Amino acid sequence: MLFDFALYLAVGTVAGLLAGLLGIGGGLLVVAALSFTLPTLGVPANHVMHVAVATSLASIVLTALASTRAHWRRGSVLPHTLAWLAPGLVAGGLTGAALASRLPGTALRIGVALFCAFSAWRMAFGANVSADQEHEPRSPWLLAAGTGIGALSALVGIGGGTLTVPLLVALKARPVRAVGTSAACGLVIALASAVGYARGGHGAQGLPAGSIGYIYLPAALAVALASMLMAPVGVRLAHRLHATQLKRVFAAFLLVVGALIASGR
């Protein structure tokens, strides 16, 4: 148990740093760590991935809150863009959580592994855009985009940054503001999805003590505690550093994580 708690703190530290630096909540790291440790707590194999994804999203609530607060203070959140995205993010998050609660654990495991590969590709080979561009996207199409982002994020246990940041950059938002807005979007997604998983896991058998539906609260709080402390550090780095090399290293790591999750190890 002590080793598990230390692992959650370590994962939360990395997740918080990435949340501030790249606009991603590190959810895939949390899902991977939990998929390895939950079986030792006696969680049935058919529930492991549901609990891992749900707990990741619950931890992202606090991680994204800390990151959003830091970005807001620096003027990096685009409020009108967020307003267009938010309703779709809520609808998608609830829908994705409801769907995931009905999927077999194996199907969810494969889905997360495939998303790791997709995220690795986007991070390693995504187009670099000028940091000088400046635009605040405002369009009804963002409602539909938000729904898709929210649903997929809820299915794989992330805050949606790997989808939101490239979308906003493609729509001519300044990269650092795309990151800040993505953090705020992650907060919306995580809240909606966590509620969905708490409801969807109600009555599930074999879940560890301290669970609320599919959310394993002790792990969520440990990850979130470390993440909240590190997210502002990531925000400061985001305003100072070019993140291309870090993104490529993280892409390689995601490929390894995806392979391990797919293998069930």
**Within its chain, how far is the Cα of 236 from the centroid?**
20
**pLDDT per position as a tens digit, 183-218:** 899 999 999 999 999 998 888 888 988 899 999 999
Q: What tokens does 185 get?
A: 């979007």
- Tell me the pTM: 0.80
Q: Which helix (H) or strand (E) is 212 found in, with range?
A: strand 211-212
Q: How far apart are CA 73 and CA 186, in angstroms?
A: 17
Of all residues in the chain, what percent carry a pLDDT higher than 90?
Answer: 26
Q: What is the domain extent for residue 193? A: 2-263
Among 222-231, 234-243, 252-261, top mean pLDDT goes to: 222-231
> Between these two residues, 1 and 17, which has the higher pLDDT value?
17
Cβ neighbors of 146 (< 8 A, separation 6 or more) are 84, 85, 86, 87, 88, 89, 91, 92, 185
For residue 139, name the pLDDT band (cuts at 50, 70, 90). confident
Task: Give the mean pLDDT of 151-157.
Answer: 88
Number of domains in the chain: 1
pLDDT score for 241: 61
Q: What is the model's pLDDT at position 212?
A: 93
